[in-house]
Amino acid sequence: MKTERLTIIFAADLARELRELVPKGERSKLIVEATRDRLVRFRQERALELTAGAWSDQNHPEFTRPEDVVNWIRELRSSADRRLDRIHSRSSNDE
């Protein structure tokens, strides 16, 4: 993997704690992993912001109550279970 050196400024107390708790050879790895994790959250937040308002209750009146959503999920799972049962029964009949 190609790497690039960055100069990053830390608050003094944070830099001190980093030096105290993380061995010298592992600091960059820790910072890279933390940055990667935070970037995932940034991308998720951005996606949520960009899609805000895409769903409207007027367009989906069948899901206005929480129970409606729960029932829909149950039906999805049930239909998936039935489909898997059919697939497994076919494969056992082929044997």
Range of the structural domain that residue 21 is part of = 12-51
Is 67 inside a domain boundary?
yes
For the entire predicted model, the pTM comes to: 0.57
Cβ neighbors of 18 (< 8 A, separation 6 or more) are 10, 27, 30
Q: Are residues 70 and 88 in the same domain?
A: yes
Cβ neighbors of 27 (< 8 A, separation 6 or more) are 18, 19
Is 37 inside a domain boundary?
yes
Number of structural domains in the chain: 2
Q: Are residues 73 and 46 in the same domain?
A: no
Instruction: State the Cα torsion 28-31-34-37 to the nearest 10°.
Output: -60
pLDDT-based confidence at residue 15 (cuts at 50, 70, 90): very high
Q: Are residues 16 and 47 in the same domain?
A: yes
5-14, 22-31, 48-57, range with the lowest pLDDT: 48-57
Q: What is the pLDDT of residue 93?
A: 67
Is 47 inside a domain boundary?
yes
Q: What is the pLDDT of residue 56?
A: 84
Is 20 inside a domain boundary?
yes
CA–CA separation, 69 and 62 (whole Å): 8
CA-wise closest residue to 29 among 39, 40, 18? 18
